[in-house]
Structure 1
Amino acid sequence: MIVCGDDGLAHRLAVELRGVYRETVTLVVPPAGAAGVPEHTQLTPVGRASALFGRMSRVVTGPSSGDRDAVADRLIEAAAPDDDVLLRAGAEEASALALVHQDDEVNIRAALAARRLNPRLRLVIRLYNRKLGQHLEELLDQAAAVSAPGMDRDEVDASTTVLSDADTAAPALAATVVAGTSKVVQADGLLLRAVERPPAVRPGAAGDPGLCTLALLSSTTGDPGGADGSDSSGEAGPQLLPDEASVQAASGRGTVVLEAVSYRGPDLSPSRLAGRGAPLAQVFSRRLRWSLFGIFASVLGLAVASWLTTGDPPVHAAYLTILDIFAIGDPAVGEPTSRQVIQMLSGLTGLLLLPVLVAAVLEGLGTFRTAAALRRPPRGLSGHVVLLGLGKVGSRVLARLRELDIPVVCVEADPEARGIALARRLRVPIVIGDVTTEGVLEAAKIQRARALLALTSADITNLEAALYARTVKPHLRVSMRLFDDAFASAVFRTLRAAHPQAVTRSRSVSTLAAPAFAAAMMGRQILGAMPVERRVLLFAAVDVAGHPLLEGRTLGQVFREGAWRILALDLADPDERRPDLSVPRSSYGDGGGDGDARKAELVWNLPQSYVLRPEDRVVIAGTRQGLADLLGRRQPRVPAES
């Protein structure tokens, strides 16, 4: 396996492949001090590895002698992965290559060169542009088929997978405001979450919405200063994918149960202009609306008074009143005193109406001009999510939240940030300003928000914003993006101890993304990952054909406690299946979908006697080691039938 990158994701991916999947890894990184390399990698190879992984003792520059504490078996320093570098790394004999540079162009250049050097190479590319990624996947897969026409695709998986660390981490980050947890996976249009239940609540009870039990928690999870974040093993650690007997026998330990959930945000206001305009309450201020109402009431009162005093028909009396208001009626000379008084009052009302109409025009123009640029948080907004940062990760999280109709207010210091255009298209309110400046979070109405997502690229900024928000609203749900894992764990424990009744999450994007990248390098389609304390469960869509541990076996025979479990069966026609079980959604801004909507066809709670057929595709939950054993290149020995 070859990993090429310039930030923490490359290092974490190398450790994931080597430590979990037991693969031989070559790591290609820029030289220390190279221009454009992130600050946290501006160290020597040993220093960089030690800074990112405290347990690492050294970096091996030659073939490994069994030291699993090293980042890689071989380390190459190069500014960019060009042809010569890829040849030095062994791309011609490698089985998989991950290109995880932050520069999309660098990854694309290297992918084209790698496909030319080795048509059988499995490629995993980090790319932010999803549309470009789809075209690149098709191009490189077609190039592999043309370059190696005799290649057996069943034996050699030369597929191309384009992933985005932002897309991989966005569901977990957005889930904290949907279900109070980052443990979510999306499959076939469903949002699945892992729910932690106390020991008193046992799975399988009547009316239990849980699909299955994923884990038994360690005994320290209820301690505010406990070990959520520790890698403890043994009796105190979590027990992943237990069997039913273990679940029923466990006492004093909480459980993690898989549930399918949905969220319904507040209904959109029906009073919109031209179908896509702003609500009338946002076009005109409350003071202006009261002024218009007062003038309308005055006109109505004058019309009624004219009708009662002059004896004219109601319509004619109203007509004369309107003429008097606009000063185009005949003077009431020689007419009764009541008529003259009403005419004078009508003229005075007309004078008051003029500035109100001018103010209404100016406010309307100002509102529509602002709506074309940036929206401000509406008056009376509450129960919303305050999202800090509209970079790569923030933009993806914003799109996820709006898909669920969750109200959002964004805060961004850079008016040219890449997510500003998306927020404007989605008509999401934006506050431009430094979140550390006093008054910025108040402008986002943090005191009435339901959650805070701090997703800027600066750890200290995210922490400062979270701490200040907690002083304003102690029980606010907070989720932070933090790069350093040790720092994230320390922040989580401290905030949980200080605010035990509030939900706090601190996650590293590269930590959330690395398992999916590593699993894609192993040649399988990963739907997502769910952390259980400091361990991880992966969810994969797997074709049964060709797997001796799956094909022709019942679900009961396939299940391996602590390793893998089949959750669902995909009933979609094989020709219509999507690799990631996704259901096409309407795209924002074009007013419609892509015309290829597929009905969700996952079947849950299958009987244990169901026999898997070659044409089946199943959703599997497994540990990282379990999936490596089940679907890796070195499959374990098939046990004999009992």
Structure 2
Amino acid sequence: MIVCGDDGLAHRLAAELRGVYGEQVTLVVPPTGPRVRPPVVGRARAASAALLDRVGAAVGGRFPVTAAGVVAGDGAGERVVEAGEPTEAVLAEAGVDRATALALVYDDDETNIRAALTARRLNPRLRLVLRLYNRRLGQHIEDLLDQASALATGADGTGGPHGPDAGDATTVVLSDADTAAPALAATALTGTSKVVQTDGLLLRAVERHPPAPGQVADPGLATLALLSSTSNDPAGADSSDESGEHGPRLLPDAAAVRAATGRATIVLEQVSYSGPQLPTARTGVPLASLFSRRLRWTLAGLAACVVALAVALMVATDDHPLHATYITLLNLFAINEPAVRASVGEQVLQLLSGLVGLLMLPVLLAAVLEGLGTFRTASALRKPPRGLSGHVVLLGLGKIGTRVLTRLRELHIPVVCVEADPEARGMATARRLRVPVVLGDVTQEGVLEAAKIHRASALLALTSVDTTNLEAVLYGRSLRSRLRVVLRLYDDDFATAVYRTLRAAHPDALTRSRSVSHLAAPAFASAMLGRQILGAIPVERRVLLFAALEVDGQPQLEGRTVADAFRPGAWRVLALDTDAAGRRRAGDQGPTGGGTGGVPSGLVWDLPDTYVLKSGDRVILAATRRGLAELLGRGGSAPAR
């Protein structure tokens, strides 16, 4: 495996491949310089060694780390190549012609695309994983690289990408922003990052306490794990009882769940939001917003004067109401004949109508100018509405903040954004979604107050500067001590210190510290291993993976019923993706249930145990890392390492 990058994601990805899956890794990083943040890279590299040490300790030994930065042990290691750009010579030195997979996780899309085109030419059978922010461009690049691989290797079954000897020469385009956004959004909503996103749904793992005698526990969509019997922490984060009968049991069967009395469970359920919502986005300009409130009252007063003059003229002349109104309007616009020979009452009414007409001219001019200005600023940023409460304050509209904003609005959660740069990447998205935005430096007094932080439910500090995020959180907590906060922090040690201090100072408020590279690394690693990972959920000190898998070619799944395909502690089929299966097998009968009604688009969650998994089905399953490696045949020795 080759990993090329210029930030902490590359080091975390290399640690994931080496420490979890036992892969041989070559890491290509630029020399230490201004492009690499030393605290991030240093901590990530230290985290890689620490992770490997824990894995080695679990099997009775420790992997030695050499002074040259090459980690060696039982066939698994890391070779570091320092290079500023992933040129053809650098890729050749890294061994791209002999590699199984290549991950290009530079922060610049153009650098990743250029290197991917070069690597595909050097090795058509190489599995490519690209980090691209532009999703539309990524889809085109993915199709282009796959087509180039098919033409270079042939697709006749004798060595092409679909032949028996080719391997999985696919291209997967991922975005760290898209991968981390669901977890960050769910943290603001539910206070946990134990979430997975699939088919437009946001699912979360929730701890359920042991039911009281005589009560039946709610299994949710599925029971994922039994927590340690000695775990007192609601999230299980501090439990050290990981082995034996009292340790956490992942993917237990029904008998194990019934027998585990007095132990909390982790169940899967769908995330929903039922709080206050902002008005949905509208395409046009509301009529009430064309004119200010003062101007509307002025126009209403002048209209009342016109009606009063018309009624007075009708009473004075005993005229028809329509004709009296017509004469009043003529007098109002000074186009009627002077009432020289009329009665005194008519003359007075004509003078009053002329006076009202003079007063109406500037009002009409102001209405026209204000209406034009409203149309001109229809696409301008909105301000937080009065009375808003229970919303989420999102700090930073960069790559990560933009994706999180989109996800929050898809869940219909009210959001107020704070951004210092009026030309930030996410400003156009905020205008399109009609989300209120406060322009200003969050470190300046009054900016968070303008975002109504004192009535907000959560604060997401997602800028790229750790100190700015920390300052915003501290100031927000000073205004509201029970505010739920989520910080984006790069440095692991700094994040740990901040988290512990905030929890100690505000024990009743929820505090979470998140790293985008830490959230995204498992998905990139799984894509390099040739599978699509939807998400990962931590259970105490272990991890459950959620993957979308094709049944075709999987002997542990194909031709088996859902009950027979379930292996406790290793993997479990959760749902059937009828959207993919129904298009490939037109007219084929699929399972019913879950409110899907046959084979429409969506996921069928309540699969019957007797349903037989057929070739062409695409399933959503939960698995341990070792179980998924065994299921997909990633080398018999990988779980042992």
Give the TM-score normalised by the residue count of structure 2.
0.83
* Amino acid in structure 2 at the alignment position of 1:233: E
* Amino acid in structure 1 at the alignment position of 2:284: G
CA contact (8 A) 1:629 1:636 kept: no
- 2:181 — aligned with what? 170
Counterparts of residues 310-389 of structure 1 (less than 5 Å): 310-333=317-340, 335=342, 338-379=345-386, 381-389=388-396
> Residues of 2 paired with 1:480 and 1:259: CA distance?
25
> Residues of 1 paired with 2:358 and 2:541: CA distance?
71
> Residues of 1 paired with 2:457 and 2:309: CA distance?
48
- 2:206 — aligned with what? 195
* Amino acid in structure 1 at the alignment position of 2:37: P
Deviation at 1:412, TM superposition (A): 1.5
Deviation at 1:205, TM superposition (A): 4.7
CA contact (8 A) 1:384 1:409 kept: yes
CA contact (8 A) 1:217 1:256 kept: yes
- 2:593 — aligned with what? none
Q: Deviations over 1:269-322 (max 9, x none)?
A: 79x6xxx22323433222322333333333333433443444322223333333
Q: Deviations over 1:530-577 (max 9, x none)?
A: 344554322111112222322333333332333321101233465846
1:160 to 167, 171, 179: 171
- 2:35 — aligned with what? 36
> Residues of 2 paired with 1:130 and 1:174: CA distance?
19
3-state secondary structure, aligned to 1:73: strand
The alpha-carbon distance between structure 1 residues 132 and 343, as it changes in their structure 2 partners (threshold 3 A), is same
Q: Deviations over 1:118-173 (max 9, x none)?
A: 22221111111212211221222122222222326355111111111011111222
> Residues of 1 paired with 2:537 and 2:213: CA distance?
21
3-state secondary structure, aligned to 2:85: coil
* Amino acid in structure 2 at the alignment position of 1:216: L
Matched, 1:23 2:28: no
3-state secondary structure, aligned to 2:534: strand
Matched, 1:212 2:217: no
3-state secondary structure, aligned to 2:612: coil
* Amino acid in structure 1 at the alignment position of 2:6: D
> Residues of 2 paired with 1:357 and 1:485: CA distance?
62
The alpha-carbon distance between structure 1 residues 215 and 502, as it changes in their structure 2 partners (threshold 3 A), is farther
Q: Deviations over 1:185-226 (max 9, x none)?
A: 3323333233333444899959x58211223345787659x8
Bigger Cα displacement from structure 2, 343-352 vs 391-400: 343-352
Counterparts of residues 195-594 of structure 1 (less than 5 Å): 195-200=206-211, 205=216, 210-217=220-227, 228=237, 233-234=242-243, 238-251=248-261, 253-262=263-272, 266=277, 268=279, 276-333=283-340, 335=342, 338-379=345-386, 381-496=388-503, 502-533=509-540, 535-572=542-579, 574=581, 576=583
Bigger Cα displacement from structure 2, 283-292 vs 536-545: 283-292
The alpha-carbon distance between structure 1 residues 203 and 349, as it changes in their structure 2 partners (threshold 3 A), is farther
The alpha-carbon distance between structure 1 residues 64 and 266, as it changes in their structure 2 partners (threshold 3 A), is closer
Q: Deviations over 1:572-615 (max 9, x none)?
A: 4658469xxxxxxxxxxxxxxxxxxx942422122333333333
- 1:113 — aligned with what? 118
The alpha-carbon distance between structure 1 residues 85 and 295, as it changes in their structure 2 partners (threshold 3 A), is same
* Amino acid in structure 2 at the alignment position of 1:157: D
Matched, 1:96 2:92: no
CA contact (8 A) 2:223 2:268 kept: yes
Matched, 1:50 2:49: no
CA contact (8 A) 1:60 1:74 kept: no
CA contact (8 A) 2:578 2:600 kept: no
Bigger Cα displacement from structure 2, 283-292 vs 343-352: 343-352
CA contact (8 A) 2:27 2:81 kept: yes
CA contact (8 A) 1:174 1:397 kept: yes
> Residues of 1 paired with 2:626 and 2:497: CA distance?
27
Bigger Cα displacement from structure 2, 184-193 vs 17-26: 184-193
The alpha-carbon distance between structure 1 residues 408 and 298, as it changes in their structure 2 partners (threshold 3 A), is farther
3-state secondary structure, aligned to 1:610: coil
Counterparts of residues 78-89 of structure 1 (less than 5 Å): 78-89=83-94
The alpha-carbon distance between structure 1 residues 41 and 223, as it changes in their structure 2 partners (threshold 3 A), is closer
3-state secondary structure, aligned to 1:569: strand
Matched, 1:608 2:614: no
> Residues of 1 paired with 2:494 and 2:221: CA distance?
34
Bigger Cα displacement from structure 2, 102-111 vs 4-13: 102-111
3-state secondary structure, aligned to 1:371: coil
Bigger Cα displacement from structure 2, 456-465 vs 372-381: 372-381
Unaligned runs of 5+ in 1: 579-597
> Residues of 1 paired with 2:510 and 2:213: CA distance?
22
* Amino acid in structure 1 at the alignment position of 2:39: H
The alpha-carbon distance between structure 1 residues 629 and 266, as it changes in their structure 2 partners (threshold 3 A), is same
Deviation at 1:524, TM superposition (A): 0.5
Deviation at 1:396, TM superposition (A): 1.6
Deviation at 1:32, TM superposition (A): 1.7
Deviation at 1:327, TM superposition (A): 3.9
> Residues of 2 paired with 1:299 and 1:53: CA distance?
84
* Amino acid in structure 2 at the alignment position of 1:49: R
* Amino acid in structure 2 at the alignment position of 1:12: R
> Residues of 2 paired with 1:464 and 1:280: CA distance?
41
CA contact (8 A) 1:29 1:79 kept: yes
Unaligned runs of 5+ in 2: 54-63, 586-598
- 1:146 — aligned with what? 151
CA contact (8 A) 2:225 2:252 kept: yes
> Residues of 2 paired with 1:495 and 1:534: CA distance?
22
Q: Deviations over 1:608-627 (max 9, x none)?
A: 33333333221111223322
Deviation at 1:445, TM superposition (A): 3.3
3-state secondary structure, aligned to 1:161: strand
CA contact (8 A) 1:530 1:536 kept: yes
> Residues of 2 paired with 1:534 and 1:291: CA distance?
67
> Residues of 1 paired with 2:636 and 2:402: CA distance?
40
* Amino acid in structure 1 at the alignment position of 2:226: L
Q: Deviations over 1:459-492 (max 9, x none)?
A: 2212222332334344444333222344444544
Bigger Cα displacement from structure 2, 331-340 vs 544-553: 331-340
The alpha-carbon distance between structure 1 residues 450 and 294, as it changes in their structure 2 partners (threshold 3 A), is farther
> Residues of 1 paired with 2:494 and 2:259: CA distance?
36
The alpha-carbon distance between structure 1 residues 300 and 555, as it changes in their structure 2 partners (threshold 3 A), is same
> Residues of 1 paired with 2:211 and 2:550: CA distance?
38
* Amino acid in structure 2 at the alignment position of 1:557: D
CA contact (8 A) 2:417 2:436 kept: yes
- 1:587 — aligned with what? none
Bigger Cα displacement from structure 2, 412-421 vs 516-525: 412-421
> Residues of 2 paired with 1:247 and 1:404: CA distance?
32
CA contact (8 A) 1:8 1:52 kept: no
1:122 to 105, 113, 127: 127
